[in-house]
Chains A and B, each alone.
Chain A
Amino acid sequence: MTVNGGPPPFQRFVDTHREDVWRFLVSSVGPAEAEDCFQETFIAALRAYPRLRAHSNLRAWVLTIAHRKSLDAHRARARRALPMEDPAALDVRETASPPPRDQLLWGAVEELPARQRSAVVLRYVADLPHSEIAAAIGCSEEAARRSLHEGLTKLRKAVSA
């Protein structure tokens, strides 16, 4: 830890949080787009980095950036899919990685509205407490709990359907 203000050396910050960020992105945008989002997340973090304070919650902060990058990726995907007007083309989740038995579940996670998706992924993949989920999404803690609850309800319906 760096004392006297200022965050730790950037490389240490990456080493500490790379796995959380990677898991979050694989779960929220899929393995094919995770690499780009990962790079974008940490490059954006690097630009803002010297302005951070030593006591900042770096994990919540970098997951906030990752959350924003995942929204960008979903929006870009929607833009790419729209002009084709071919319903089959809307299903762009041809991406491989999650094992078959979980494809249904993670497919349903990707279908969730943005805030619910991020809440679910931050909770179960990155293991964040509700307060940090709220900070990452940019809402109140109560709203974060609600999003999580609504997300889980939708998922339960989706996987038992």
Chain B
Amino acid sequence: MTDRANDQTGTLERALRGTAKAANGHTAAAASAAERLSARIASEGLADITYTPVDSPFGPLLAASTQRGLVRLAFPEEDVDSVLERLARRLSPRIVESPAPLEPMRRELDEYFSGARRNFELPLDWALIGPFGRRVLRVTSEIPYGGVLSYAEVAADAGSPRGSRAAGNALGSNPIPIVIPCHRVLRTGGALGGYGGGLDRKRWLLELEGALQGVQ
């Protein structure tokens, strides 16, 4: 190549790179194309999991749903990326963010937090819950609004009368807190016990439901 040709190539390369970089509108255009993409994927049912943030008195919860129903509800302090990573590994990496499929769930949670709803009707997907956890959380999901059970009672009803510690662990790893009301399980005698989302929240939820008389 002659010097002149070299020089021209340099100019040409700069021009090619320059236009590509200078087109700053591309960042916004790509972002909005990606948003339309996620909406389309969700509406055509091509995603295995959709997720969206949902406002709550505790801050934004992350709600994730499969075709079957709500599969995960994460508290605000849980790291979104690691929640999604775990869903990708356990269930499927076909995960997109889209509010539309979760709209009915958002509405039920809103109503619940404002005291207007006592029972959730939204469908649940138990895919993240193992066999023992399933027994424990089924019993838990039948505790009515305003009611409480002890860890020992839940364990007994789940078929493991001596398993209150194991029941406590299963409750602690509840992937759908609030909706599966593990906050309604207390120590024998009425002490709060533990809660994955923190004891303040457990107390707040029990107060909301009017279940706190006689409980410290």
Contacts and interface: CB of A to CB of B under 8 A. Distances in A.
Contact of A105 (B16, B26, B29): B16
A9 B19 CA distance: 32
Given A6-B88, A11-B38, A106 B30 contact: no
11 contacts: A2-B89, A6-B89, A10-B94, A11-B95, A12-B81, A14-B37, A39-B40, A99-B19, A124-B16, A152-B12, A155-B16
A111 interface: no
B199 interface: no
A120 B22 CA distance: 17
A152 B11 CA distance: 11
Given A2-B89, A35-B33, A98 B26 contact: no
Contacts of B87: 9
Contacts of A109: 16
A156 B89 contact: no
B54 interface: no
A14 B34 contact: yes
Contact of B26 (A9, A23, A155): A23
Given A49-B94, A50-B93, A156-B12, A11 B84 contact: yes
A143 to B, nearest CB: 20
B15 interface: yes
Interface of B: 5, 8-9, 12-13, 15-17, 19-20, 22-23, 25-27, 29-31, 33-34, 36-38, 40-41, 46-47, 51, 81, 84-85, 87-89, 92-97
A124 B17 contact: yes
A156 B8 contact: yes
Given A2-B93, A124-B17, 7 more contacts: A2-B89, A8-B85, A11-B38, A14-B96, A43-B40, A155-B16, A156-B12
A10 B15 CA distance: 34
A22 B29 contact: yes
A27 interface: yes
A4 B30 contact: no
A125 B170 CA distance: 51
A126 B16 CA distance: 11
| Ranked 4 nearest A-B pairs via Cβ | A22-B30, A124-B16, A9-B95, A9-B84
Given A18-B33, A38-B33, A39-B36, A23 B88 contact: no
A124 B17 CA distance: 5
Interface string A144-158: 000000001001100
Given A39-B40, A106-B19, A26 B26 contact: yes
A36 B186 CA distance: 55
Contacts of B19: 98-99, 102, 105-106
A27 B15 CA distance: 13
A124 B10 CA distance: 12
A71 B106 CA distance: 42
Given A27-B20, A39-B40, A120-B16, A19 B93 contact: no
Contacts of A43: 37, 40-41, 46
Given A9-B85, A21-B30, A14 B20 contact: no
A152 B9 contact: yes
